[in-house]
C-alpha cells in the first residue's frame, strides 16, 4: 500500500480540488432555484399592491429585485462569481465587435491639412477598412511612399518621423483605451450582469452583454459619442461675403446654361406681373440658389442662416459640391443647430452657423455636469464644471472674445451659441437649447461618463435569443450523457474489468475538464460542450493503447505484473507524441478562434491533459494495486 500512497494522495487531491472548484456552480444552480421561488412570491405581492402595472414595468421591477437579491447576499454573490460561466450562445445575449475609427482622431490631430494630406488620409482610410492594423502605421507608410515627412502635419519641424509615429501611436492607443473605459462606464450604469468588455487587435473592442435582447437600447448606449466642443462663431462681416460667394458660384454652375433664358425673361419684364408665385420662386432659385434655401435675417446682427427642414438635404448637397467647397476657407465650417425651431406656419427651421473648424476647448475638461431647470427662463439647462486646466483656458478664451459668440457643439450639432458677456474665471458654463428635461438628463449622463475620443463602428453583431440558448444547453447535455454512456458501455463490453476501470478514469476526465474550466473562470460555450463530447470519444485512446499493449505483452507469456509494467512503458512514447501534436493544433485553434471556438479549443486542450492524467496515473494505480493484491487482471 505504501508504494501507492503518494499517487493516491495526488489523485484524491485532484478529484477533491475539482469538486471544490465545481461546487459553486452547483450552489449557484440551487441558489437560482431559491431566487426564482422568492421572485414568484414577490411578483404576487407586487401585483396585489399594484394590479395595473404593465408587463414591461413588472418585468423590470422583477429583474431589478433579482439583481438586488444576488448582490445583497454574500454567498449568492460568491457562488455566482465562481461558477462555470455560460457563453452567450448558451444563455442568450448580444455579442458586438466594435472598431474605433481612429482615422477621425488622426485627422483632428493634423495641423494645416492640405490637399495632399486629404488624399493620403483617404487612401489610408480605404486600407484601414480592410485590415486590423493600427491606423498610424498605415498612414505613416502612405506618407513614406509619397516621400512626405510627417513633421509637415504633426509635431514640430525638427522631429523625425520615428518620434512622431511613436507619439501618434501612443495617442491612438490611448484613444482606444479611453473608448473601452467609457464604454465600461456606460455599460455599468446601464446595469447588465456580468458584461465583458475587451480590446482586440489595435482598434477593436469586443462587448458581450449576456441576457440583453433589446438591440436598439444596447447599441444606443454603446455608440453615442458625446463629443463636446466649444467653437467660436464667425461674425457676420466674415460670414456674409462667403455666403454671397457660395450663392454666386452655385448660380453659375447650376444654371449657367440658362443664362440666355434669363436674358429673355429680363426683356419681357412687362409680363412679370403675370408670373405666378411659383415661377417667381423658380426665378429666385435660379438667381440665388443658396439664399433661396437659407434665409438671412437682415435685421439681426448675426449672419445665421435659417434652413427649413425640408430643404436641408438639398442644401447639404449644394454645400458638398467641389466648387462651393473651394470658396469656403479651410479653417471654418457650416454647422446646423441640433434642434429646429418651429415658425408660425408650423415649419421646422434649423439654424446654420459658420464656426471655426478648430474647437477652442473640448469636453475632456468637463469634470461634472448637472441637468436643471433655469429659474429665469424655465427651460432646461445643463451646467458643467471644468477642471483647473480647462477653467484657465476657458477664462482666457472668454476674456479675449468678449462680445463674440461661442457655440456649444455636441456630436457635430450646435446646442446653443451664447454671446460671451465677460471673462468667466470659474470654469463653469451652461448648455441651453435642449428640447426637454429628458434630453438634458441624457446629456448629463454622457457628459459625466465622458466622450468617446473617436467614433466607434459596429462591425459584427450577434444576438442569441434565450430560447435558442436553452435548446442548445439541453441538446448539449443530452449528447454528453448519451455519448458518455455509449462509449462507457462499449469499453466495458470490450475490455471487461479493465474497461470498467477505464470508464472510471473517463468519468474523472470529464470532472477534471469541468473543474479546470471553473478554476480558469473560463466560459462554457456550445462548441465547448462539443469539445467535451469529442474528448469523451478520444480520451479512451490512451487507455486503449495501453490495454492493447498489455494484451500483446501477455500474449508473449509474461506475468501480469511485468505485462502491465511493460505495457505502460512501451506506450508512453506513442501517447505523448500523439497527444503533443494534437495539443499543438489546440493551441493554434485557440489563437485562431474567438469566443465559442476558443471555448472549444480550451476544452480540447484541458481534455488532452486530464485524459493523460487519468490514463497514466489513475488507471495505473488501480492496476498496480490489483496486481499487488494478486487479483486476476482481466483485459477482455
User: Residue 401 or 578: which CB sits closer to another protein?
Assistant: 578
User: Residue 296 or 449: which CB sits closer to another protein?
Assistant: 449
Q: Grid cell 463602428 — which residue?
A: 457
User: Residue 47 or 587: which CB sits closer to another protein?
Assistant: 587
Interacting residue with another protein among 224, 363, 476, 607 (CB under 8 A):
476
DSSP string, 354-396: EEESS-SEEGGGEEEEEEEE-TTT-SEEEEEEE-HHHHHHHHH
Return the closest-CA partner of residue 479 out of 517, 529, 527.
529
Alpha helix positions (H), 191-311:
215-223, 236-255, 259-267, 277-287, 289-293
Q: At closest approach, how far in Å is the CB of 404 from another protein?
A: 30
Q: How far apart are CA 537 and CA 233, in angstroms?
A: 72
Binders of another protein among 211-270, rule CB under 8 A? Answer: 214-217, 219-220
4 and 621 Cβ atoms separated by less than 8 Å: yes
Q: Which residues pair with 98 in a beta bridge?
A: 205, 458
Q: Which residues pair with 348 in a beta bridge?
A: 342
User: How many CB atoms are closer than 10 A to CB 372?
Assistant: 13
User: Residue 150 or 488: which CB sits closer to another protein?
Assistant: 488
Interacting residue with another protein among 467, 557, 629, 632 (CB under 8 A):
467
End-to-end CA distance of the chain: 26
Choices 14-22, 111-119, 281-289, 532-540; region in contact with another protein by CB under 8 A: 532-540
Interacting residue with another protein among 151, 479, 500, 566 (CB under 8 A):
479
Binders of another protein among 104-143, rule CB under 8 A? Answer: 129-132
Q: At closest approach, how far in Å is the CB of 588 from another protein?
A: 5
Q: At closest approach, how far in Å is the CB of 538 from another protein?
A: 5
Report how far apart, in Å, the C-alpha atoms of 293 and of each of 175, 250, 268, 282, 352 are.
39, 12, 26, 12, 11
Interacting residue with another protein among 159, 283, 347, 548 (CB under 8 A):
548
Strands 85-86 and 523-524: parallel
Residue 418 sits at the vertex; the CA angle it makes with 415 and 419, to the nearest 5 degrees, is 155
Q: Does the footprint of another protein cover residue 314 (CB under 8 A)?
A: no
Interacting residue with another protein among 29, 170, 471, 631 (CB under 8 A):
471
User: Residue 98 or 391: which CB sits closer to another protein?
Assistant: 98
User: Residue 34 or 217: which CB sits closer to another protein?
Assistant: 217
Binders of another protein among 431-460, rule CB under 8 A? Answer: 436-439, 441-442, 458-460
User: How many CB atoms are closer than 10 A to CB 413?
Assistant: 15
379 and 255 Cβ atoms separated by less than 8 Å: no
369 and 443 Cβ atoms separated by less than 8 Å: yes
Q: Does the footprint of another protein cover residue 56 (CB under 8 A)?
A: yes
Q: At closest approach, how far in Å is the CB of 212 from another protein?
A: 11
Pattern of binders to another protein over 489-528, x per CB under 8 A?
Answer: -xx-xxxx-----------------------------xx-
User: What helix, strand, coil percent values describe the chain, rounded to 5?
Assistant: 65, 15, 20
Choices 69-77, 138-146, 317-325, 542-550; region in contact with another protein by CB under 8 A: 542-550
User: Residue 33 or 220: which CB sits closer to another protein?
Assistant: 220
User: Residue 167 or 219: which CB sits closer to another protein?
Assistant: 219
207 and 196 Cβ atoms separated by less than 8 Å: yes
Q: How far apart are CA 225 and CA 14, in angstroms?
A: 50
Binders of another protein among 26-55, rule CB under 8 A? Answer: 54-55
Strand order in the sheet with 228-232: 361-362, 228-232, 406-410, 413-416
User: Residue 395 or 468: which CB sits closer to another protein?
Assistant: 468
Q: At closest approach, how far in Å is the CB of 231 from another protein?
A: 22
Interacting residue with another protein among 108, 404, 462, 561 (CB under 8 A):
462
Binders of another protein among 550-589, rule CB under 8 A? Answer: 551-552, 555, 570, 573-574, 577-582, 584-586, 588-589
Binders of another protein among 82-101, rule CB under 8 A? Answer: 89, 97
32 and 66 Cβ atoms separated by less than 8 Å: no
Q: Does the footprint of another protein cover residue 382 (CB under 8 A)?
A: no
User: Residue 155 or 567: which CB sits closer to another protein?
Assistant: 567
Q: How far apart are CA 85 and CA 104, in angstroms?
A: 37
Return the closest-CA partner of residue 624 out of 633, 634, 614.
633
Binders of another protein among 160-179, rule CB under 8 A? Answer: none
Task: Tally the C-alpha atoms within 13 A of residue 568's C-alpha that lie toward its C-beta.
Answer: 15
User: Residue 74 or 436: which CB sits closer to another protein?
Assistant: 436
Choices 143-151, 258-266, 350-358, 537-545; region in contact with another protein by CB under 8 A: 537-545
Q: At closest approach, how far in Å is the CB of 545 from another protein?
A: 5
Interacting residue with another protein among 540, 606, 618, 627 (CB under 8 A):
540
**CB proximity list for 186: less than 8 A, separation 6 or greater:** 221, 222, 224, 449
Amino acid at each position: 500500500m505504501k508504494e501507492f500512497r503518494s499517487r493516491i494522495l495526488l489523485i484524491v487531491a485532484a478529484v477533491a480540488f475539482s469538486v471544490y472548484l465545481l461546487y459553486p456552480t452547483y450552489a449557484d444552480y440551487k441558489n437560482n432555484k431559491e431566487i426564482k421561488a422568492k421572485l414568484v412570491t414577490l411578483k404576487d405581492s407586487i401585483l396585489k399592491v399594484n394590479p395595473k402595472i404593465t408587463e414591461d414595468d413588472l418585468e423590470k421591477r422583477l429583474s431589478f429585485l433579482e439583481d438586488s437579491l444576488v448582490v445583497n447576499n454574500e454567498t449568492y454573490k460568491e457562488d455566482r462569481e465562481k461558477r462555470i460561466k455560460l457563453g452567450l450562445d448558451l444563455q442568450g445575449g448580444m455579442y458586438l465587435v466594435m472598431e474605433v475609427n481612429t482615422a477621425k482622431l488622426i485627422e483632428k490631430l493634423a495641423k494645416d491639412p492640405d490637399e495632399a494630406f486629404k488624399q493620403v488620409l483617404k487612401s489610408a482610410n480605404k486600407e484601414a477598412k480592410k485590415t486590423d492594423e493600427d491606423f498610424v502605421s498605415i498612414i505613416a507608410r502612405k506618407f513614406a511612399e509619397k516621400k512626405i515627412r510627417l513633421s509637415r502635419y504633426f509635431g514640430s519641424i525638427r522631429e523625425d518621423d520615428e518620434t512622431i509615429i511613436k507619439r501618434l501611436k501612443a495617442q491612438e492607443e490611448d484613444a482606444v483605451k479611453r473608448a473601452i473605459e467609457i464604454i465600461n462606464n456606460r455599460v455599468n450604469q446601464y446595469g447588465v450582469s456580468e458584461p465583458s468588455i475587451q480590446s482586440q487587435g489595435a482598434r477593436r473592442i469586443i462587448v458581450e452583454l449576456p441576457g440583453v435582447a433589446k438591440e436598439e437600447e444596447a447599441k444606443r448606449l454603446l455608440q453615442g459619442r458625446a463629443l463636446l466642443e466649444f467653437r467660436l462663431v464667425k461674425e457676420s462681416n466674415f460670414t456674409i461675403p462667403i455666403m454671397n460667394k457660395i450663392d454666386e458660384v452655385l448660380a453659375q454652375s447650376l444654371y449657367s446654361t440658362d443664362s440666355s433664358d434669363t436674358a429673355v425673361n429680363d426683356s419681357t419684364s412687362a409680363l412679370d406681373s403675370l408670373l405666378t408665385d411659383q415661377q417667381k420662386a423658380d426665378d429666385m432659385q435660379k438667381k440665388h440658389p443658396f439664399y433661396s434655401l437659407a434665409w438671412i435675417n437682415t435685421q439681426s446682427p448675426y449672419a445665421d442662416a435659417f434652413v427649413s427642414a425640408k430643404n436641408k438635404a438639398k442644401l447639404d448637397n449644394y454645400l458638398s459640391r467641389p466648387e462651393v467647397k473651394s470658396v469656403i476657407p479651410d479653417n471654418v465650417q457650416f454647422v446646423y443647430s441640433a434642434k429646429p425651431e418651429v415658425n408660425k406656419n408650423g415649419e421646422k427651421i434649423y439654424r446654420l452657423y459658420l464656426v471655426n473648424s478648430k474647437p477652442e476647448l473640448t469636453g475632456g475638461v468637463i469634470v461634472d455636469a448637472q441637468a436643471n431647470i433655469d429659474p429665469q427662463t424655465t427651460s432646461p439647462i445643463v451646467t458643467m464644471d471644468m477642471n483647473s486646466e480647462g477653467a484657465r483656458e476657458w477664462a482666457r478664451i472668454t476674456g479675449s472674445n468678449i462680445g463674440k459668440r461661442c457655440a456649444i457643439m455636441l456630436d457635430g450639432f450646435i446646442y446653443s451659441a451664447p454671446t460671451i458677456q465677460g471673462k468667466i474665471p470659474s470654469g463653469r458654463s451652461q448648455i441651453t437649447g435642449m428640447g426637454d428635461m429628458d434630453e438634458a438628463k441624457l446629456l448629463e449622463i454622457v457628459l459625466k461618463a465622458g466622450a468617446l475620443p473617436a467614433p466607434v463602428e459596429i462591425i459584427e453583431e450577434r444576438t442569441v435569443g434565450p430560447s435558442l440558448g436553452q435548446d442548445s444547453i439541453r441538446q448539449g447535455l443530452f449528447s454528453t450523457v448519451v455519448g458518455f454512456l455509449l462509449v462507457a458501455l462499449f469499453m466495458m463490453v470490450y475490455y471487461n474489468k479493465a474497461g470498467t476501470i477505464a470508464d472510471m478514469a473517463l468519468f474523472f476526465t470529464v470532472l477534471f475538464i469541468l473543474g479546470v474550466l471553473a478554476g480558469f473562470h473560463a466560459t462554457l460555450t456550445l462548441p465547448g460542450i462539443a469539445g467535451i463530447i469529442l474528448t469523451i470519444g478520444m480520451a479512451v485512446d490512451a487507455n486503449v493503447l495501453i490495454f492493447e499493449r498489455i494484451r500483446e505483452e501477455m500474449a508473449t507469456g509474461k506475468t501480469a505484473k511485468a505485462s502491465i509494467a511493460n505495457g505502460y512503458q512501451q506506450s508512453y512514447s506513442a501517447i505523448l507524441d500523439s497527444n503533443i501534436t494534437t495539443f499543438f493544433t489546440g493551441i493554434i485553434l485557440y489563437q485562431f478562434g474567438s469566443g465559442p471556438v476558443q471555448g472549444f479549443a480550451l476544452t480540447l486542450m484541458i481534455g488532452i491533459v486530464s485524459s493523460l492524467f487519468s490514463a497514466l496515473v489513475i488507471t495505473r494505480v488501480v492496476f498496480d494495486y490489483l496486481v499487488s493484491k494478486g487479483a486476476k487482471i482481466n483485459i477482455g
